[in-house]
Amino acid sequence: MRKTINTACPRNCYSSCSFKVEVEKSQIISIENQPLNKATSEGPCLKGLSYIERVRSGNRILYPQLKLKGEFVRISWDEALTIISNRLTEFKTRFGSHSILFYAASGMSGLLNNVSYNFWRLFGGVTTTYGNLCWPAGLEATRLTLGDNRHNSPWDIENAGLIVLWGKNPAESNIHQSVFIEAAQRKGAKLVVIDPRRTPSSERADLFLQPIPGTDAILALAVAKLIIESNDHSIDFINSYVIGFEKFYELLDNVNIHEASIECGVPVSFISELADLMGSVTPMTIVPGYGMQRYSNGGQTIRCLLALSVITGNIGREGACWHYANLQSYIFDLKKEPESYYPVQDADNPFRRSIPTATLGKSMQAVKSPKLKMAWVERGNPVAQNPDTNETIRAFRKLEFVVVVEQFMTDTALEADLILPAKSMFEQSDIIGSYWNPYIQLKQKVIDPPGEVKPETEIYYLLANKLRFSQEDIDSYIPFPDDKSTDDWLANYLKDHDGLSLEVLKEGPVMAPGIQHVAFSDMNFNTPSGKIELFSVEAEKMWGVNPLPTYEKVLEGHGNRQNDYPLCLLSPVTKNRIHSQFGNLDCIKMLDNEQFVAISSMDASERGIENNDDVRVFNDRGEVKTKARLDNSLRTGNVVIYNGYWNSEGGSPNLLSIDRETDMGHGTAFHDNMVEVELIR
């Protein structure tokens, strides 16, 4: 008998699509769109459709496996849990529980991820990570300025007269947004794209600017100066809602348009055109991407861009929006990624020792008293996705015991001593929010796990029993491993929210209670002054940056070379992968099979490189051997390797990236990254 079940995609992706799954004989046979979600009504992308292959892939890890003499061998769950509980007890007794690292990242979202923390707290606390690989510099820049991370509902872009995709490529990273942008364009909106490389998103632009990576702040300050000098700023808005405008204007005295043009590599005429558009076309929505804030100056850069929305009064109205992150559906305080954002200060907290995600490999090796002996990794692929892969591998290899909970044999799973099979999204219900659309969604269970796969909550339940945690603790903090108990656990989160229940969510997505479709329409800003803060005392106090939005040179990049490498490596996301996921599927390989480094013909010919040649991309940190693809849509001086590739596919660009924090928010400055490319003869 066929059944249709509503569910939602829990990947770390803007769209967080709703979709319907048809199931027959415990097999998923089709994935269809769910029109009730106004943001994703067209249905999922190719990756979403590829789940049919992904869940039943022959490459899935289906059983616990132990590494013996370098080979993984199948063991029973009871053996696996006995080995793990023995090692946990041993390390805790000999060195203290903080000799164990718990590392989780963004592979799967959902409220049940909190159970992991419950388990490790009951265990007595372990070392964890703080900060985040993804978006925190921009989150913090926005919070300092507007008080909160909220934006207008996705479909509001249709109301914009001017849309600026600033370092964002939604045609690949947020395809559902492209639908609204196209609708706006049909109504006459102008589209500006600002990106060092031409992308599918820039193909539709009216104006396309290609700055030198990491220099957007000076471009934005130059635009601000021209807007104010032409008297195109919004004086009433500024007088009513903004503090620090005078000081900001004084700062712009130091900005010379011609020098700015040279610094960012954008001709003066283009800077003027952008200023004219921003000064005259309203309402304007700026959509800053997350890639652009993964630089050492990322937070200050985002503050400079946001200043343009502020001085033109493009906040709090239809079509007028700073479209960075919309956390309005995060009503259960669930974060996009599970790590806490800031180091734990409180000595009594079981997680009192945490290390920065941005410097994971180095910090794992550096911590003392106690040294790390063991790691538990789930929902993450740090060997491929965290910066400085070689350092990360060294850190894992120094440990005595590594457990990885995974669906597939990733680069990190290969470093494990013991692998536990991980569930897929279809094998356990959970509740998710979105950082782009305003819905709360039930990611419904649609099939039983294959093989001996168990959801993490069940693994923790069994392990808690092995370790003889008290029955009372187990009952309070870890759901009993069956569907009914999991549902009850989830229902408990919903009970205090009017209009939300499992029954309602089973029918499809539900708008988060209290949603503001036009963010900040009440002009309430949760900043210390209650106004929009161009001048932020908190920015200086917390992060030691200038209280005003300023241009700071990147620590490693063009014009500020810490080493002798001449090319800047960009490692953006690509259409058919979510970071390190999906690339191993046949249906994805058909379209996107071979890794390459994109290089402009000028840079290639200087190095005697022709299209499709084998090349080595390298710096002091490592190398990636891959194929060259000549690409003249790329700004000369830059090369591109998409992120998410496994070692077996050529290697992660993080073999080349440095482990450095961003200027604020404890983010990761992957993109301060200079390299050289040479022909392999």
Ligand X SMILES: Nc1nc2c(c(=O)[nH]1)N[C@H]1C(S)=C(S)[C@@H](COP(=O)(O)OP(=O)(O)OC[C@H]3O[C@@H](n4cnc5c(=O)[nH]c(N)nc54)[C@H](O)[C@@H]3O)O[C@H]1N2
The CA distance from 449 to 486, in Å, is 15
Residue 226 or 419: which CB sits closer to ligand X?
Answer: 419
Q: At what angle do helices 136-146 and 298-311 cross, to 10 degrees?
A: 40
Rounded to the nearest 5 degrees, what angle is found at the Cα of 261, between the Cα atoms of 256 and 267?
Answer: 135
Residue 158 touches which member of ligand X, Mo ion, none, C-beta under 5-8 Å by kind: none
Beta carbon of residue 241, minimum distance to ligand X (angstroms, whole number): 27
Residue 214 or 313: which CB sits closer to ligand X?
Answer: 214
Residue 122 touches which member of ligand X, Mo ion, none, C-beta under 5-8 Å by kind: none
Residue 291 or 547: which CB sits closer to ligand X?
Answer: 291
Residue 584 touches which member of ligand X, Mo ion, none, C-beta under 5-8 Å by kind: none
Residue 577 or 635: which CB sits closer to Mo ion?
Answer: 577
Residue 209 or 334: which CB sits closer to Mo ion?
Answer: 334
Beta carbon of residue 106, minimum distance to Mo ion (angstroms, whole number): 6
Nearest to 583 by CA among 641, 504, 517, 501: 641
Report residue 295 as tokens: 């630089």
Beta carbon of residue 337, minimum distance to Mo ion (angstroms, whole number): 8
Residue 87 touches which member of ligand X, Mo ion, none, C-beta under 5-8 Å by kind: none
Nearest to 566 by CA among 641, 617, 523, 623: 617
Beta carbon of residue 336, minimum distance to ligand X (angstroms, whole number): 8
Length of the chain measured in residues: 681
Beta carbon of residue 521, minimum distance to ligand X (angstroms, whole number): 25
Beta carbon of residue 367, minimum distance to ligand X (angstroms, whole number): 21
Residue 290 or 596: which CB sits closer to Mo ion?
Answer: 290
Beta carbon of residue 366, minimum distance to Mo ion (angstroms, whole number): 26
Residue 18 touches which member of Mo ion, ligand X, none, C-beta under 5-8 Å by kind: none
Residue 388 touches which member of ligand X, Mo ion, none, C-beta under 5-8 Å by kind: none
Residue 234 or 381: which CB sits closer to ligand X?
Answer: 381
Nearest to 325 by CA among 488, 132, 503, 183: 132
Nearest to 29 by CA among 446, 443, 421, 425: 446
Residue 336 or 558: which CB sits closer to Mo ion?
Answer: 336
Residue 169 or 527: which CB sits closer to ligand X?
Answer: 169
Nearest to 62 by CA among 486, 402, 424: 424
Residue 134 or 599: which CB sits closer to Mo ion?
Answer: 134
CA distances from 680 to 596, 601, 638, 650 (A): 14, 17, 19, 14
Residue 34 touches which member of ligand X, Mo ion, none, C-beta under 5-8 Å by kind: none
H or E segment to which residue 356 belongs: strand 354-356
Nearest to 594 by CA among 640, 645, 657, 632: 645
* Site string (113-152) toward Mo ion, x via CB under 5 A: ---------------------x------------------
Residue 294 or 373: which CB sits closer to ligand X?
Answer: 294
The residue nearest ligand X at its CB is 107
Residue 291 touches which member of ligand X, Mo ion, none, C-beta under 5-8 Å by kind: ligand X
CB burial readout 441-480, b (16+ within 10 A) else e: bbbbbbbebbeebbbbbbbbbbbbebbebeeeebeebbbe
Beta carbon of residue 163, minimum distance to ligand X (angstroms, whole number): 14
- Residues 64, 52 contacting (CB under 8 angstroms): no
Rounded to the nearest 5 degrees, what angle is found at the Cα of 550, between the Cα atoms of 545 and 552?
Answer: 80
Residue 665 touches which member of ligand X, Mo ion, none, C-beta under 5-8 Å by kind: none
Residue 172 touches which member of ligand X, Mo ion, none, C-beta under 5-8 Å by kind: ligand X
The CA distance from 660 to 1, in Å, is 54
Report residue 438 as tokens: 């305003």
Residue numbers at the binding site for ligand X (CB under 6 A): 12-14, 105-108, 133-135, 166-169, 172-174, 194-197, 199, 211, 213-214, 216, 289-292, 294, 378-381, 385, 405-408, 410, 422-423, 570-573, 575, 577-581, 643, 653-654, 657, 670-671
Residue 572 touches which member of Mo ion, ligand X, none, C-beta under 5-8 Å by kind: ligand X
Rounded to the nearest 5 degrees, what angle is found at the Cα of 493, between the Cα atoms of 491 and 499?
Answer: 75
- Residues 158, 183 contacting (CB under 8 angstroms): yes
Beta carbon of residue 269, minimum distance to ligand X (angstroms, whole number): 18
DSSP string computed for 583-634: TTSHHHHTTS---EEEE-HHHHHHTT--TT-EEEEEETTEEEEEEEEE-TTB
Residue 199 touches which member of Mo ion, ligand X, none, C-beta under 5-8 Å by kind: ligand X
Residue 311 or 405: which CB sits closer to ligand X?
Answer: 405
Beta carbon of residue 381, minimum distance to ligand X (angstroms, whole number): 4
Beta carbon of residue 467, minimum distance to Mo ion (angstroms, whole number): 34
Question: Which residues are at the interface with Mo ion (CB under 5 A)?
Answer: 134
